[in-house]
């Protein structure tokens, strides 16, 4: 393949090189993916410790405890025995204690303690061995407690704790992920079969997306040396990787096929696809990566891990789409349409519905815009009631006996499930000075009127320099009662007692403190993240399309879709709609990391469609078409592919709503709803209506910005020299 004219742009140059060296490009991609798998196996992925995931005082407290040399604590378990009808608990308590001492891998069975109301008994014990793997050894204890419950139906006997909680999460998540892996690829492939009507064309995006995800997860092993991962990162990478990987390939293949059917020879069709869809992939991928980089500004381990993971998966998807995909299309030639499906394969997609809607929108743009904004406003209105909360075990499987047991124990013995921990670091925490302060602390807890809950437990490290003082908090998690108790502890009790020890550093940790400090860190970083993402998205659109108007409307339209997604999250997860269908229990807030993460992800993903549509509109504008005609042609010609891409994204995201964790349900519902709205109301109605009303003002660029680089959106006409030599390309295979 000889080069005649000058090929402009990274995407076009990459496609030209890949088409000329297709065997090398395809083998190079395979070697790259295999290499990342080997790299991952050699390096291993470093997971963030609990201390590394902390923020503020609670994070510093956990780091202090982690470095203090405390002996590793075995996984703790609790058995609750509770009256149901005034029955005697003594016999069941004795039986639980006696039985647990005979169960394998059970150790340190503690004497039973009674609740203040006299209705509940609690027995604590531990699981032998590494606490990280204790979930693999807790089953005999769970079975023994279940048998005792069967013998005593008039009592409530249940076990919950670290190991049983980890087992529940692991089992539920493994089952959910297995179901997801069995469904996601077949569902995606099925949608693409309908979209393309040909098996080979449908397989290409799925294959490239899956290999891109595998490669990115492999690269994450190296990345984790700089930013340790959290458990949910791989799920997020799969979610984003499947969606963008399939979409990028879909855009590229559909344009190449359309040009081929319009009469272009294979080389020209490939170059047109590279100069248009390839360029859109490059710009939208860069925009997504920039948006994800905004998460680094939070300085939070979870967000940094999410940011790095999504950047890697989007970058690998872009790399594969711009190199391996053109090589495969070049090698296949017209055989990309091989194995046609009768009834589904069509030479052209007319998009009659979308073109009909577009005619109405362009005929009445003001009314169409008002209707669209009104509908989005209604969907977004619940966002005014949006609140956030921390994750709790109830977010796994609310109907599980372990979860219900954990809730019952929290109510009866709040100091035993999620206590606050006061970490005292000094030259010594042994002696009269510390004992006096501890006595004052106990007295203050007693005077708190139940806001702080006894008993007060103390652990001291072997060096005698760090003490961890545990005390219960009223309420649960980060509800108002727990927040009030933490405020009392941090603001009054600790400063007046343990905090008064000369030369000591005193910090408060625990689940409630962890959540409060996370929210505080998030509140401080939000303006920076929003400013960074919005500002750079504006600049990228400005440079790409040389129009201030296009950049401003792009940012505003994406903000509308994000607001509507937030509103739908509140409607579903706070107000409790579709609880049974989605399998969750409504709460008083959205999980605290979801809103910011959704903003970043949605803002990035929305650019896929926005850039793709605007590029086609700009092509028409650069050819001299009036604005309405350019909008009609651009939106009309992209409606089919955007519909297919949106259906793929919505299907993949909706499948994540079937996972057992409330956080993944919120992610799935939020992303699916936003993409659906973005591909329909935003791109098919609001965007063309706004652009039709603005007319030539769409392309306004002040004179002092004329120095911006000129990006060509038009393509050589048949009369001009083609980018590559016009000779048949023999398919390989």
**pLDDT tens-digit readout, 215-250:** 999 999 999 988 898 877 887 888 788 888 888 888
Please tell me the predicted confidence (pLDDT) of residue 3: 43
Structure tokens belonging to residue 658: 């079937």
Asked if the peptide bond before residue 279 counts as cis, ω within 30 degrees of 0, the response is no
Tokens of 519: 């929210």
pLDDT at 122: 93
Rounded Cα distance, 686 and 249, in Å: 26
What pLDDT, on a 0 to 100 scale, did the predictor assign at position 705? 84
User: What are the extents of the domains in the chain?
Assistant: 1-44+197-348, 57-168, 357-397+520-723, 419-509
Alpha-carbon distance of 180 to 186, in angstroms, equals 10
Q: How far apart are the first and last CA of the chain?
A: 18
Q: Which pLDDT score, from 0 to 100, does residue 505 have?
A: 94
Angle between helix axes 162-196 and 199-223 (nearest 10 degrees) is 150
pLDDT score, position 6: 57
Contacts 24+ apart (CB under 8 A), 222-227: 222/39, 222/43, 223/308, 223/309, 223/312, 224/45, 224/46, 224/47, 224/305, 225/43, 225/46, 226/308, 227/301, 227/304, 227/305, 227/308
What dotted CATH number matches 419-509?
A: 3.30.70.600
Question: Thinking of the domain 357-397+520-723, which architecture would CATH place it in?
Answer: Up-down Bundle (1.20)
Q: Given this chain, do its domains 57-168 and 419-509 carry the same CATH topology?
A: yes
Predicted local confidence at residue 15, as pLDDT? 87
Task: Please state whether beta strands 388-389 and 590-591 pair in parallel, antiparallel, or not at all (unpaired).
Answer: parallel
CB 147 within 8 A of CB 96: no
* Res 728: pLDDT: 37
Half-sphere exposure of 285 (CA within 13 A, CB side): 28
pLDDT of residue 417: 75
Is domain 1-44+197-348 annotated with CATH 1.20.1640.10? Answer: yes
As a residue count, the chain comes to 733
Report the top-level CATH class of 57-168.
Answer: alpha beta
- The confidence score (pLDDT) of residue 711 equals 57
Torsion-angle region of 578 (φ positive above 0: left; ψ -120 to 50: alpha; else: beta):
left
Q: Take residue 732 and report the two structure tokens written for it.
A: 């390989």
Residue in the structure block whose two tokens are 């320099």? 465
Q: Calculate the CA dihedral of residues 199, 200, 202, 205 and round it to 10 degrees.
A: 160
Task: Using 50 as the pLDDT threshold, list the residues of the chain that sit under it.
Answer: 1-5, 712-733
């Amino acid at each position: 393949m000889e080069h005649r004219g000058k090929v402009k742009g990274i995407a076009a140059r990459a496609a030209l090189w890949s088409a000329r060296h297709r065997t090398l490009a395809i083998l190079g991609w395979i070697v790259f993916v295999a290499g990342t798998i080997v790299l991952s196996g050699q390096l291993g992925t470093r997971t963030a410790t609990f201390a590394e995931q902390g923020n503020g005082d609670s994070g510093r407290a956990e780091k202090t405890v982690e470095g203090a040399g405390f002996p590793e604590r075995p996984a703790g378990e609790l058995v609750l025995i509770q009256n149901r009808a005034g029955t005697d608990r003594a016999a069941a308590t004795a039986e639980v204690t006696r039985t647990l001492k005979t169960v394998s891998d059970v150790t340190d069975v503690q004497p039973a303690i009674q609740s203040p109301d006299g209705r509940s008994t609690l027995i604590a014990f531990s699981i032998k061995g590494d606490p990280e793997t204790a979930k693999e050894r807790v089953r005999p204890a769970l079975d023994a407690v279940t048998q005792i419950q069967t013998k005593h139906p008039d009592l409530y006997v249940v076990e919950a704790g670290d190991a049983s909680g980890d087992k529940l999460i692991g089992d539920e998540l493994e089952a959910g992920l297995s179901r997801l892996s069995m469904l996601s690829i077949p569902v995606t492939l099925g949608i693409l079969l309908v979209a393309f009507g040909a098996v080979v064309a449908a397989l290409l995006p799925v294959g490239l997306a899956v290999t891109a995800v595998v490669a990115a997860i492999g690269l994450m092993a190296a990345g984790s040396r700089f930013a340790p991962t959290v458990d949910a990162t791989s799920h997020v990478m799969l979610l984003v990787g499947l969606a963008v990987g399939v979409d990028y390939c879909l855009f590229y293949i559909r344009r190449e096929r359309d040009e081929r059917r319009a009469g272009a020879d294979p080389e020209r069709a490939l170059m047109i696809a590279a100069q248009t869809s390839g360029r859109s992939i490059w710009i939208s991928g860069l925009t997504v990566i920039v948006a994800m980089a905004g998460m680094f500004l939070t300085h939070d381990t979870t967000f940094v891990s999410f940011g790095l993971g999504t950047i890697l998966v989007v970058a690998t998807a872009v790399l594969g789409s711009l190199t391996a995909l053109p090589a495969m299309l070049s090698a296949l030639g017209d055989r990309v349409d091989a194995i046609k499906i009768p009834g589904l394969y069509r030479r052209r997609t007319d998009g009659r519905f979308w073109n009909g809607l577009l005619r109405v929108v362009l005929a009445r743009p003001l009314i169409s815009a008002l209707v669209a904004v009104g509908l989005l406003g209604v969907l977004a209105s619940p966002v005014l009631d949006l609140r956030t909360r921390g994750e709790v075990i109830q977010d796994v499987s609310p109907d599980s006996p372990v979860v219900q047991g954990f809730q019952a124990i929290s109510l009866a013995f709040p100091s035993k499930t999620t206590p606050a921990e006061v970490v005292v670091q000094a030259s010594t925490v042994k002696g009269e000075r510390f004992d006096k302060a501890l006595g004052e602390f106990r007295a203050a807890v007693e005077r708190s009127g139940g806001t702080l809950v006894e008993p007060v437990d103390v652990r001291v490290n072997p060096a005698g320099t760090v003490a961890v003082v545990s005390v219960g908090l009223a309420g649960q998690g980060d509800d108002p009662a727990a927040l009030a108790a933490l405020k009392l502890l941090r603001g009054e009790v600790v400063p007046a007692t343990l905090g008064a020890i000369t030369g000591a550093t005193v910090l408060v940790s625990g689940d409630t403190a962890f959540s409060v400090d996370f929210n505080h860190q998030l509140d401080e970083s939000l303006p920076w993240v929003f400013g960074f993402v919005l500002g750079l998205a504006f600049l990228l659109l400005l440079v790409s399309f040389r129009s201030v108007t296009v950049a401003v409307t792009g940012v505003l339209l994406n903000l509308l879709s994000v607001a509507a997604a937030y509103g739908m999250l509140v409607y579903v997860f706070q107000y409790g709609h579709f609880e049974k269908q989605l399998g969750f229990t409504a709460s008083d807030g959205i999980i605290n990391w979801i809103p910011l993460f959704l903003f970043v992800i949605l803002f990035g993903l929305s650019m896929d469609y926005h850039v793709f549509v605007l590029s086609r509109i700009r092509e028409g504008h650069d050819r001299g078409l009036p604005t309405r005609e350019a909008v009609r042609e651009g939106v009309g010609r992209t409606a089919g592919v955007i519909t297919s891409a949106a259906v793929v994204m919505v299907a993949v995201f909706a499948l994540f709503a079937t996972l057992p964790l409330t956080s993944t349900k919120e992610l799935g519902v939020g992303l699916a709803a936003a993409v659906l709205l973005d591909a329909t109301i935003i791109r098919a109605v609001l965007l063309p209506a706004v652009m039709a009303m603005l007319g030539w003002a769409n392309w306004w660029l002040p004179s002092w910005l004329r120095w911006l680089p000129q990006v060509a959106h038009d393509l050589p006409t048949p009369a001009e020299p083609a980018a590559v030599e016009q000779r048949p390309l023999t398919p390989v295979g």
